[in-house]
Amino acid sequence: MREVCDFQQLELVGWCAIVKMKFPHVAGAGKKVISYMALLVGLTVVLGITIPVAVVGANQPQIDKVFKAGSTSCPTETTCVPPLQCATMMMDRTDLVDESMTPRRRCRIKANFDGICCPQMRNDEDNDSEENSRFSPAQSSEINHGRKSGKRNVPDLLLGNDTSDNPHIRTKRCLVGGDCLHKHLRYRRYDGKCNNVLHGRTLWGSAGYPMERILPPAYGNGVWSARVLSVTGNFLPSARSVSASLFGDLHVPHSKHNVLMMQFGQFLVHDITKNKGHSDTAKCCLDDGSHRVANPHPACLPIPVSKVDPFYSQFGVRCLEFVRTAVASRQNCNVGHGRQISAVTHFIDGSGIYGSSAEDSILLRALEGGRLKSLKHVRLNNELPPLDETEGACDKKSEMCFKVGDDRVNQLITLVAVHTLFLREHNRIAKTLDKLNPHWSDETIFQETRRIVIAEIQHIVFNEYLPNVVGPNYMQKYELHPSKGYSNFYNPKVNPSILSEFSAAAFRFGHSTIPDYLELPGGLEKTHKTFFDPTRLREPHFFDGLFRGILHQPQQLVDDMFSHSVTWFLNPKEGFPFGKDLVSLNIQRGRDHALPSYNHYLHLNERHVKNEFSHFGAVVSPKLADLYDHPDDVDLYVGGILETPISGAIVGETFAEIISDQFARLKEGDRYFYSEGPHTNPGHFTLPQLEEIQKITLAGLLCANANDRHSFHVQPQAFDLPHHAGNQPQSCHSNQIPSLDLNWWKD
């Protein structure tokens, strides 16, 4: 019982009563079915009426296929449950494995609880629960669609913004956090708290704060059960089946962008989002993947694998690990749906370098001269992050792995290299500031340097990276271009938090850009062979050689092709010849977050909804029709990745919209945004300092931190391939490669 409650983050939920029930048998499956039900009898105030509420509880992962989304009555073959318990029945997941089987449909009784456990029925006019009124698709569309009038309107209902003047909201705000003792600290906090100092907003964007969303969740039970049913009431196809039949692995190099762009993207992702897991020990499948475990952790949502899977069948694998993201709910408030927690600060604030808490950051610091701890080979000028001695931090074959502010760093050798670049940049700046201002303490040098490095990252993101991702139209539509001089972006009403749509779908476009091979100094190497094995970075000149390689190697197109390095060999368990499938994880993560289907986002963006499979194009439509019951079922990740990239961008329209929206929030909702001036930003730069930062480029940073800057060459547009006109590699002494003049920081 505790376990079930714990993973729901009870400190935030503040409610939970678990009733453990045994259902003797579910016909067909022949398995004993156990269902935990969290029965909340709480009070919700809806339109001034107090009503009792029962909420389906915690082990939804096993039982969540049961509800029929949008159902208003029980279809045939149903097993209904008594009133006052929004109970569900658990089905054996092996039912899903055999795709030939007709899935049995069950639903809960309509009873008294429509609209509370099933807010999908929010269209019912006479259903006036708070959830219903909040989550009407029509309303969210209306709210979110302030955009169409040109200036982006900030949706408030779904984002927990101030809603006091909104008639649809009759609940007090939750997850408010305390008030901030120090409202005008010069340096942002490590945990991201108190960026917004207004009452009720002090946690926005902080580590451990849940994600926001553009559209309301399509939870099967309205509370937390994953989206696993088709609009027809049948099950959605297994995420692995979708991945295996729709996506291949063909080498399709991008004509303009290089692998550094892919790698910077992953570095940035790790700064702003991390789905918080439930438990490191949760295990959903047997080690050999032959079956799911008998009594899975309640957060398990393993991915079924077909007997005839084109890859996994040869190993007898029928089950891929998947643990659901931990959710928070609203403290001391009426019942709400689960909201997925991000474990890192949502802001672009270098948390991947400095950590997402004061405790983490202190461990990363040298506590001398404002520097970060590092491994330094003085003669070779080869500075690396410190070693991570934690058991299991790396692959067994790796002699070394590294510790930075984010524990995903060792995934890929090129990711470690980008972290190394920023660690060197920090220590390089700290050293200069120390010389310029010998009277400064370690703390002052550290914080001033951190402030500069964060500013550099933000500038590179908005000036160089994002324009290439979303293209000029979206840069303009969402006013994403950096300012000249001080900006006036900050708006305390904007919630900067990461959107589920961004984290669980849109920004995962990057997985399609991963090449099958990396051009490393020793030659071509299969990408997955470099996973969790960054030892070679200690070799003299490896760092420079690695960047030379990824500056020249094209990344892959964002399309329906994904490297087998990530669809077959992602992070294999020791001793097994197969790994996980990242595309399946992406699709399943979207269902875990209960992202509504792709068509909902087309509708929201006022684009033609794809009512027929044929609207997806001649090539994929037969496959889609084979997989999904209905076009309205197509997952957001799938529909988005299948779109043709828009002009000047690398992603299609739907992902561009979500990504632009996200970065607009990250800019407008960040009081410490680097270009904000004295009127908002307590840690603003002076104008000459800001002008220096606005000159910097990623190419400049690479030059400043290369092992041998005298022989290093880099193209000025670091994310573009060098054969492009005007982008020929330059010596680091060229005036096309800017460097930061730190004299402006002399006290």
269 binding partner (options ligand HEM, Ca ion, none; Cβ < 5 to 8 Å by kind)? ligand HEM
Which segment (266-274, 284-292, 429-437, 444-452) binds ligand HEM by CB under 6 A? 266-274
**With CB under 6 A as the contact rule, which of the stretches 87-95, 98-106, 268-276, 546-554 interacts with ligand HEM?**
268-276
Q: Can residue 511 be called a binding residue for ligand HEM (CB under 6 A)?
A: yes
Stretch that binds ligand HEM, among 180-188, 263-271, 350-358, 365-373 (CB under 6 A): 263-271
Q: Distance between CA atoms of 545 and 538, rounded to whole angstroms?
A: 12
Residue 276, classed as helix, strand or coil, is coil
Residue 275 interacts with ligand HEM (CB under 6 A)?
Answer: yes
Number of Cβ within 10 Å of residue 459's Cβ equals 20
Which of 262, 372, 457, 470 is the binder for ligand HEM (CB under 6 A)? 262
Encoded amino acid at 70, one letter: G
Specify the residue, 59 or 345, whose C-beta has the smaller distance to Ca ion.
345
3-state secondary structure 428-459: HHHHHHHHHCCCCCHHHHHHHHHHHHHHHHHH
Q: Min. distance of Cβ 456 from ligand HEM in angstroms?
A: 19
Q: How far is the CB of 112 from ligand HEM (least distance, A)?
A: 36
**In the bound complex, what is the minimum distance in angstroms from residue 635's beta carbon to ligand HEM?**
13
> Which of 349, 592 has the CB closer to Ca ion?
349
Report the residue number, 383 or 501, with the smaller CB distance to ligand HEM.
501
Start-end of H helices in 294-393: 351-354, 358-364
Instruction: Cite the DSSP H helix spans in 277-412.
Output: 351-354, 358-364
Minimum CB–partner distance for residue 112 and Ca ion (Å): 44
Determine contact, residues 4/55, Cβ cutoff 8 Å.
no
The residue among 106 and 665 lying less far from Ca ion, judged by its C-beta, is 665
Residue 257 backbone phi and psi in degrees, to 5:
-110, 155
Which 568-597 positions form the footprint of ligand HEM (CB under 6 A)?
Answer: 582, 585, 589
Stretch that binds ligand HEM, among 34-42, 56-64, 272-280, 670-678 (CB under 6 A): 272-280
By CB under 6 A, name the one of 116, 269, 454, 587 that touches ligand HEM: 269
Q: In this chain, which residue has its C-beta nearest to ligand HEM?
A: 510
Among 61, 200, 237, 265, binds ligand HEM (CB under 6 A): 265
Total interface residues for ligand HEM by CB under 6 A: 21
Tokens at 425, concatenated:
């940049």
| 274 contact choice in ligand HEM, Ca ion, none (CB below 5 to 8 Å, kind-dependent) | ligand HEM
| Beta carbon of residue 343, minimum distance to Ca ion (angstroms, whole number) | 10
**440 interacts with ligand HEM by CB under 6 A:** no
| Least Cβ distance, residue 352 to Ca ion (angstroms) | 7
Q: In terms of DSSP bridges, do strands 303-304 and 713-714 run parallel, antiparallel, or are they unpaired?
A: unpaired
Q: What is the 3-state secondary structure (H, E, C) of 565-589?
A: HHHCCECCCCCCCCCECHHHHHHHH
**410 within 8 A of 532, measured Cβ to Cβ:** yes
Q: Which is nearer to ligand HEM, 131 or 643 (CB)?
A: 643
For ligand HEM, the closer of residues 266 and 605 by Cβ is 266
The backbone torsions φ and ψ at residue 487, rounded to the nearest 5 degrees and listed phi first, read -100, 170
Q: How far apart are CA 61 and CA 58, in angstroms?
A: 8
Ramachandran sector of residue 351 (left: φ over 0; alpha: ψ -120 to 50; beta: rest) = alpha
Where on the chain is the footprint of Ca ion (CB under 5 A)? Answer: 271, 345, 347, 349, 351
* The one among 318, 371, 508, 709 contacting ligand HEM by CB under 6 A: 508
Binding positions for ligand HEM, 512-531, rule CB under 6 A: 513-514, 527
Residue among 90 and 650 whose Cβ is closer to ligand HEM = 650
Among positions 411, 487, 500, 680, the unique one binding ligand HEM when judged by CB under 6 A: 411
d(CA 466, CA 261): 10
Could you please report the per-residue DSSP string of 476-487? Answer: HHTT-SPPSSSB
* Sign of the alpha-carbon torsion through 626, 632, 637, 641: positive
Question: In this chain, which of 510, 596, 683, 700 binds ligand HEM, going by CB under 6 A?
Answer: 510
Phi-psi region of 111 (alpha: psi -120 to 50; beta: other; left: phi over 0): left
**Element holding 604 (H helix, E strand):** helix 598-604
Residue 534 beta carbon to ligand HEM: minimum distance, rounded to whole angstroms: 13
Q: Segment contacting ligand HEM (CB under 6 A): 95-103, 264-272, 353-361, 427-435?
A: 264-272
Residue 413 or 627 with smaller CB distance to ligand HEM: 413
Is position 284 an interface residue for ligand HEM (rule: CB under 6 A)? no
Catalytic residue (choose from 145, 251, 254, 270): 270
511 is in an annotated binding site: yes
Shortest Å distance, C-beta 507 to ligand HEM: 4
Q: What residues numbered 190-219 form the site for ligand HEM, per CB under 6 A?
A: none
User: For residue 131, what is the enclosing H or E element?
Assistant: helix 130-134
| Residue 190 interacting partner from Ca ion, ligand HEM, none (CB closer than 5 to 8 Å by kind) | none
CA terminus-to-terminus distance, the chain: 59
Choose the contact partner of 345 out of ligand HEM, Ca ion, none; CB within 5 to 8 A by kind: Ca ion
105 vs 307: CA distance, rounded Å: 23
Q: Which of 121, 194, 372, 412 binds ligand HEM (CB under 6 A)?
A: 412
Given candidates 465, 507, 616, 745, which one binds ligand HEM under the rule CB under 6 A? Answer: 507
Spatial distance between the Cα atoms of 566 and 584, rounded to a whole number of angstroms: 10
Decide if 448 contacts 440 (C-beta within 8 A): yes
483 binds ligand HEM (CB under 6 A): no
The span from the CA of 14 to the CA of 183, in Å, is 28
Of 399, 414, 402, the closest CA to residue 353 belongs to 402
Query: Is 564 one of the catalytic residues?
Result: no
C-alpha R_g of the chain: 26
Structure tokens, 163? 């809603």
Q: Which stretch binds ligand HEM (CB under 6 A): 271-279, 299-307, 470-478, 651-659?
A: 271-279
- Residue 360, Ramachandran bin (φ over 0: left; ψ between -120 and 50: alpha; else beta): alpha
How long, in residues, is the chain?
747
E strand or H helix at 602, and its extent? helix 598-604
Taking the least distance from each CB to Ca ion, the nearer of 351 and 727 is 351
- The residue (of 39 and 301) whose beta carbon lies closer to ligand HEM is 301
Please name the amino acid found at residue 116. Answer: I
- Please, what is the minimum distance in Å from the beta carbon of residue 356 to Ca ion? 7
Residue 266: which of Ca ion, ligand HEM, none does it interact with, CB under 5 to 8 A by kind?
Answer: ligand HEM
**What letter represents residue 110's amino acid?**
K
Q: Are 598 and 609 in contact (CB under 8 A)?
A: no
Q: List contacts with ligand HEM (CB under 6 A).
A: 262, 265-266, 269, 273-275, 411-412, 503, 507-508, 510-511, 513-514, 527, 566, 582, 585, 589
Residues acting as catalytic residues: 270
**Annotated binding residues for heme b:** 511
- Residue numbers in the known binding site are 511
